[in-house]
């Protein structure tokens, strides 16, 4: 709590509300008693000015373009840490020591297989099913194989195992959906490999020939997953929290988060960006034409990968990914014309008053697809990659909500429909 208070005057009555101050100096008016005191609620569609919780997981400053996981700057973690190290950090609050990391990696490796019965589910999806639809369904179905995972208040070791199972199985489920899509044989995990390398092996390996993981690809993927690992109360994390707040199990809560992430305004934007850049290229590369369309209120076209609810400056993740784009494509000898279009598009937009006035900058999705494409990930799998990266963050948010015994999420509303009226029999209408 802060010593500061907020005073509001309603109907001639003055109400004093407490102010909460966070560890980074952020402040909020605590309105939890407002309705009981005054009969009024607040209204904030899209929760643009409303905090849903206090959290110790991720700090971001949209004006300054700052992003920290448990206090560690994202720039340092992306450069120096492994994705499982960052997953441990998000879940437990501190970076693991050698023994803790080895134990965590061992637990994840141990659970990388999925129940053989799950393979049948994949056969019944249409061959062109979008992998996000498959992933959301398969993650939810995991709860039917592990009834103990139903109760989030089981002993800590059960919850820990439930978490390890999910982090271990998600890459396997993602790779199976990809192989299924291609009609290729499933590759079982090879637990001699690391987490990232195992995923690449299950995605691109074939039973007919050996598969060597390219360290450049593995490093790029490690960086991308770290950059996506958490982002405080974004749409999908808030979805995970509100579904989990009903004491639904972790797997169902994460499945709901996957569904929310799929939207083109959220994680689905990384697929939209590449499709947008290819459309611009196929349309002759007239970038100004498409920037003008994005500005035209009568045109539904938006510049995907641009703009952000919180960042009103450069998304720090976009800076890192843009730099990594050049490095990875150069190391791999890939020349992707779409990257040039992306850079020109960014340059034109950032000089255009429409984008400058609205503080619209490239976000995490603007360049990520170019790296995914360079390392061989198909466009329809881009949002699955976002979900793989965001998984530890979602789980950390869910666990914080459970451990803080937060109440079931149930917002209020202001009713604007018909006032009371009596039923009229159909013959008299």
Report, as residue numbers or ranges, the catalytic residues: 308, 365
222 binds ligand SDX (CB under 6 A): no
- Please name the helix (run of DSSP H) or strand (run of DSSP E) that holds residue 80, with its range, or none: helix 74-80
Which range of residues in 138-146, 196-204, 231-239, 321-329 is near ligand SDX by CB under 6 A? 231-239
Minimum distance of ligand SDX from residue 298's CB (angstroms): 12
135 binds ligand SDX (CB under 6 A): no
304 binds ligand SDX (CB under 6 A): yes
Question: Mind giving me the DSSP string for 10-58?
Answer: ETTEEEEEEEEE-TTS-EEE--TTHHHHHS-----GGGTT------SSE
| Calculated CA dihedral for residues 245, 246, 249, 253, nearest 10 degrees | -60
Minimum distance of ligand SDX from residue 345's CB (angstroms): 11
316 binds ligand SDX (CB under 6 A): no
Which range of residues in 51-59, 159-167, 266-274, 336-344 is near ligand SDX by CB under 6 A? 266-274
Minimum distance of ligand SDX from residue 264's CB (angstroms): 6
In the numeric block, which tokens belong to residue 172?
Answer: 């396997």
Minimum distance of ligand SDX from residue 27's CB (angstroms): 20
Q: How far is CA 233 from CA 34, 153, 244, 309, 329, in A?
A: 23, 23, 14, 11, 33
- 72 versus 211: smaller Cβ distance to ligand SDX: 72
Q: How far is CA 341 from CA 21, 330, 335, 345, 370, in A?
A: 43, 17, 12, 6, 11
363 binds ligand SDX (CB under 6 A): yes
Which range of residues in 91-99, 111-119, 251-259, 361-369 is near ligand SDX by CB under 6 A? 361-369
Instruction: Work out which of 165, 169, 266, 322 binds ligand SDX, going by CB under 6 A.
Output: 266
Which range of residues in 6-14, 146-154, 358-366, 371-379 is near ligand SDX by CB under 6 A? 358-366
231 binds ligand SDX (CB under 6 A): yes
308 binds ligand SDX (CB under 6 A): yes
Which range of residues in 153-161, 285-293, 303-311, 408-416 is near ligand SDX by CB under 6 A? 303-311
Q: At what angle do helices 337-349 and 364-374 cross, to 10 degrees?
A: 170
Minimum distance of ligand SDX from residue 318's CB (angstroms): 9
In the numeric block, which tokens belong to residue 209?
Answer: 């020939």
- 122 versus 306: smaller Cβ distance to ligand SDX: 306
Q: How far is CA 281 from CA 122, 286, 339, 342, 344, in A?
A: 35, 8, 11, 10, 12
Q: Is the dihedral of CA 48, 49, 50, 53 positive or negative?
A: positive
Minimum distance of ligand SDX from residue 394's CB (angstroms): 10
Minimum distance of ligand SDX from residue 189's CB (angstroms): 27
- 195 versus 304: smaller Cβ distance to ligand SDX: 304
Question: Mind giving me the DSSP string for 191-260?
Answer: TTS-HHHHHHHHHH-BTTB--PPPHHHHHHHHHHHHHTS--SS-HHHHHHHHHHTTT--HHHHHHHHHHH
Distance CA 362, CA 311 (A): 10
312 binds ligand SDX (CB under 6 A): no
Q: Is the dihedral of CA 306, 311, 317, 322 positive or negative?
A: positive
Build a one-symbol-per-residue string for 318-357: x at contacts with ligand SDX by CB under 6 A, - elsewhere: ----------------------------------------
Q: How many residues bind ligand SDX (CB under 6 A)?
A: 23
Please give the residue ranges that form the binding site for ligand SDX (CB under 6 A): 46, 231, 234-235, 265-267, 269, 294, 302-310, 358, 360, 363-365
């Amino acid at each position: 709590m802060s010593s500061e208070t907020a005073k509001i005057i309603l109907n001639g009555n003055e109400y004093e509300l407490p102010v909460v101050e966070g560890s980074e100096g952020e402040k909020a008016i605590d309105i939890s008693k407002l309705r009981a005191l005054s009969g009024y609620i607040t209204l904030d569609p899209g929760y643009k000015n409303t905090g849903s919780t206090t959290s110790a997981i991720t700090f971001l400053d949209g004006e300054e373009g700052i992003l920290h996981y448990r206090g560690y700057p994202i720039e340092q973690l992306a450069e120096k840490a492994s994705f499982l190290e960052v997953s441990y950090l998000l879940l437990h609050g501190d970076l693991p020591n050698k023994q803790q990391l080895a134990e965590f990696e061992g637990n994840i490796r141990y659970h990388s297989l999925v129940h053989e019965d799950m393979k049948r589910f994949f056969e019944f999806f249409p061959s062109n099913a979008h992998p996000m639809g498959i992933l959301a369904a398969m993650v939810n179905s995991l709860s039917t194989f592990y009834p103990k995972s139903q109760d989030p208040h089981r002993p800590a070791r059960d919850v820990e195992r439930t978490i390890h199972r999910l982090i271990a199985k998600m890459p396997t489920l993602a790779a199976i959906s990809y192989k299924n899509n291609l009609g290729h044989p499933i590759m079982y995990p090879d637990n001699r490999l690391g987490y990232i390398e195992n995923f690449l092996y299950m995605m691109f390996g074939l039973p007919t020939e050996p598969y060597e993981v390219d360290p450049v690809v593995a490093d790029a993927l490690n960086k991308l997953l770290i950059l996506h690992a958490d982002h405080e109360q974004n749409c999908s994390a808030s979805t995970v929290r509100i579904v989990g707040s009903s004491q639904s199990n972790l797997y169902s809560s994460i499945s709901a988060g996957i569904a929310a992430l799929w939207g083109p305004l959220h994680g689905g934007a990384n697929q939209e960006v590449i499709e947008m850049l290819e459309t611009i290229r196929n349309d002759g590369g007239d970038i100004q034409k498409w920037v003008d369309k994005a500005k035209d209120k009568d045109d539904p076209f938006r510049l995907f990968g641009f703009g952000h609810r919180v960042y009103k400056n450069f998304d720090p993740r976009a800076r890192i990914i843009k730099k990594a784009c050049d490095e990875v494509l150069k190391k791999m000898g890939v020349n992707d014309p779409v990257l040039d279009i992306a850079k020109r598009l960014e340059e034109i937009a950032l000089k255009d008053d429409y984008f400058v006035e609205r503080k619209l900058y490239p976000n995490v999705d603007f360049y990520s697809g170019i790296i995914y494409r360079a390392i061989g990930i198909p466009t329809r799998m881009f949002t699955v990659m976002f979900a793989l990266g965001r998984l530890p963050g979602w789980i950390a948010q869910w666990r914080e909500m459970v451990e803080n015994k937060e109440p079931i999420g149930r917002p209020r509303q202001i009713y604007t429909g018909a006032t009371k009226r009596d039923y009229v029999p159909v013959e008299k209408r």
